[in-house]
Amino acid sequence: MTSNARRVTASGRDIAVIRLQDHRHAVFRHGDRESMRLLRALHRRPSRLTRLGLALLGGSAVVARVAEQARPAEPACRSRCAELFEAVAEFLDGDVVSYAATVNSAVEWAIIGVRRRADIVFVTVRTPDHPAIAEQATFLRDFENVCPPSVLIPRVVREGQAGGWSMLALTNLDPPDRTPEVELRRLLPYLNAMCEADHRDVTYAQTLAELETTGALAEPLASVLAGPGDADRTLRLCRAHGDFVPWNMALDGEALYLWDWSRAMRVAPWPFDAVHFCSQRRRHELHQSRETALAGARDDLAEVAGELGVARDPAALDRAIALYAAFRYAHELRVQLMGSDTVWLVENAL
């Protein structure tokens, strides 16, 4: 380890862990401005509670007083975070100048911004041998070959195990700090370009047989694909970002920055990402109920159906949403990243 890199220690003086939301904590280095910049980069579109926490952290108050206002983490959480950063330092061969992270309360996962001597990387951390790590790494390496030039994605720096964790380091996309609100219609050219780069049209029966051999099938998905008279229906399969939402993207001129590929799907029904965008934006940005968000997503999809090549009649829209819900459930079950609304969505969309 060179003299330019600092060793991350387990000292309580070295890190601060502040609760920003009910299920998220901010982890950063005491008195380190670079650590604060990395923390803000991790929260490009923060919620109101997170904005409050970040404002407190960025003020002139000493860390102890800020921690008191923003609810400090339990000692066990702080200790586990210290162990986590020891593992990150090992994973990156000691090349850690500064860092900041978002973790959940139990510290079962983390997204960490790390300033190295030469660059910044973002490290996704999960429990040992977590399937989402290998899935995301494989997807990004493969997608790099067909990704449209107007879509900017992170590249894989390193994948592996350290300190009892699975880790994936990705390049920093460095998107613009401020971008206008993103509307679905503005994103259609990018979605269509990603689909055109790599897609295939197959029958429901062919899809059913293929998914059975890969172990990616789940009961709701099987019920949609194996319905009476559906065997000869045609389904367009393509890649999907998997969590295509306003807070995971930024527009800069003609370029679309896309990060957080942890739910990326190599096989998804078109237009999976468009349906997800509509439902999640309503649910988490407009704070609508599940029922209202689902009904509104159907209306949003109808407005752009022609530009997506989807029939606008109610039966076709309902089928697109049902396929989205079933594929989402099967994929999240397989990679162990089940969303909070996924089961409800399956029960109400199928």
205, 246 Cβ separation under 8 angstroms:
no
Per the structure, the count of domains in the chain is: 2
> Could you say which of 109, 140, 171 is where a domain stops?
171
- Domain check: are 208 and 63 in the same one? no
At 158, which CATH number?
A: 3.30.200.20
Residues 307, 231 within the same domain: yes
pLDDT given at position 51: 78
Query: What's the token pair of residue 347?
Result: 């029960």
Residue 211 shares a structural domain with residue 67? no
37, 123: one domain = yes
- What is the token pair recorded at 322? 């049902």
Q: What is the pLDDT of residue 229?
A: 82
Asked if 159 and 201 sit in the same domain, the reply is: no
What is the spatial distance between Cα 319 and Cα 151, in angstroms, rounded to a whole number?
Answer: 28
Does 264 lie in the same domain as 188? yes
Task: Flag residues of the chain having pLDDT under 50.
Answer: 1-10, 12, 60-68
Q: What is the pLDDT of residue 72?
A: 66
Say yes or no: 261 and 295 in one domain: yes
pLDDT given at position 74? 78
Please check whether residues 119 and 189 belong to one and the same domain.
no
Let me know if residue 10 belongs to a domain.
no
Tell me which residue range forms the domain holding 127: 15-171
Q: Could you say which of 137, 171, 205 is where a domain stops?
A: 171
**Distance from CA of residue 256 to its chain's centroid?**
16
State residue 251's pLDDT score: 92
Q: Could you tell me if 191 and 228 lie in one domain?
A: yes
Q: Same structural domain for residues 214 and 148? A: no
Residue 8 forms part of a structural domain: no
What per-residue confidence (pLDDT) applies to 192? 97
Instruction: Give the C-alpha separation, 147 to 149, whole Å.
Output: 6
* Residue 100 shares a structural domain with residue 162: yes
Residues 327 and 257 in one domain: yes
The pLDDT of residue 10 is 41
CA–centroid distance for 249 within its chain: 10
Select from 120, 136, 171 the last residue of a domain. Answer: 171
